[in-house]
Amino acid sequence: MNKYPLLEIDRDVIRRNAGILLDECRKRGVEPFAVLKGFNALPGIVDTIVKAGYRTLASSRLPHLAAVKEARLPVDTLGLRIPMLSEVCEVVRVCDISLNSELETLRALDAAASGAGVIHKVILMRDLGDLREGIFESERFVKTACYVERELKNLCLYGVGTNLTCYGSVIPTVKNLSELAANAADIERLIGRKLAVNRNALFSDAVGVHSAALIPWHTGAAYYMGLAAAVYPLYHFTIGDLYYNFMGIICVASIYVLTFTGWDRFIPLFGLPEEPAVRLKKVEERAYRVEEEMLSSPN
């Protein structure tokens, strides 16, 4: 007997919508990762996403990725949160790929991968102002990438990436993502090969750059929410190829109304976020010196 309230999930709709977005990405040379956190990695939906054609499943929660491994699904797993030193063995066990920005952690992952007899893929993160994760300086970023490639034998430098529109609310722009692209080109030139994940960014970053060229910056979030809701629908409705995209209709309609009427200027407190003036300078300088010493000493 059913108990209420009851949430019914139409997996056919999710599979169809996820497949449409996947096809649209691949037409443009983009290979998206499917993130499990939004639906708590429910097994039925995970299976549906895999059947839609996604090759990599990602989550910031290691138990989600452990469940994927236990289910023996034909996909790679990606850890979206930079690892703690205390969990490097678990990361190597349940993640095929992880995001990283600290040399000490990279060395620990290399040791754990060596002990497990595997090659672990890493995406090196660059901080472009959001203050969430990554290496700040371009030179040190490139130098660390070369160190991983040449010195850490059980790690594979899989690619480079960044995280925006998160902790510091720094929006993606052509300028800041072009800086990451330039770093990637320098790394590829120095290591003599192409990176598998080149200029990786969050879906919201890519959408932000696209939408910023079309609409005012502060409506980019609504634009992104509309696309996200296309896969995980909230209400029975049909628009275009995607089914039940009720939130998308609201978001797109609000964009048109706010933009063409000029009413967006009446919405208060729309200002670009600024980086905090207070910095832990001594801590930053000490951490920087430690990493410089590690980079200059392979052992």
Instruction: Place 165 in a pLDDT band, splitting at 50, 70 and 90.
Output: confident
Nearest to 110 by CA among 160, 66, 163, 147: 147
- Position of tokens 């309609």? 253
Name the pairing type of β-strands 155-162 and 238-239.
unpaired
Instruction: Name which residue leads in pLDDT, 234 or 109.
Output: 109
Position 227 scores a pLDDT of: 54
The pLDDT of residue 153 is above 90: yes
Q: From CA 211, how far away is CA 219, in angstroms rounded?
A: 8
Q: Where are the beta strands (DSSP E) in the chain?
A: 34-35, 56-59, 76-79, 97-100, 120-126, 155-162, 197-200, 238-239, 242-243
Q: How confident is the model at residue 211 (pLDDT cuts 50, 70, 90)?
A: very low
How many angstroms separate the first and last alpha carbons of the chain?
64
More confident: 88 or 250: 88
Annotated catalytic residue: which of 37, 51, 143, 194? 37
Backbone angles phi, psi at 165, to 5 degrees: 55, 40
- With a CB cutoff of 8 Å and minimum separation 6, the contacts of 135 are 101, 124, 125, 126, 127, 141, 144
Residue 217: the pLDDT is 44
* pLDDT tens digits, 118-149: 999 999 999 988 787 899 999 999 999 999 99
Confidence of residue 59 (pLDDT cuts 50, 70, 90): very high
Flag the least confident range among 128-132, 250-254, 268-272: 268-272
Find the range with the poorest average confidence among 109-113, 154-158, 170-174: 170-174
Considering just the CA atoms, what is the radius of gyration of the chain in Å?
21
Q: What was the pLDDT predicted at 22? A: 86
- Average pLDDT value over all residues in the chain: 79
Collect all residues with Cβ–Cβ distance below 8 Å to 277 and sequence separation of at least 6.
Answer: none
**146 contacts 192 by C-beta, under 8 angstroms:** no
Q: Work out the pLDDT band at 151, boundaries 50, 70, 90.
A: very high
pLDDT, mean of residues 63-76: 96
Question: Does residue 37 have an active-site annotation?
Answer: yes
Category of 22 on φ-ψ map: left (φ > 0), alpha (ψ -120 to 50) or beta = alpha
In the predicted structure, residue 281 carries a pLDDT above the cut 60: no
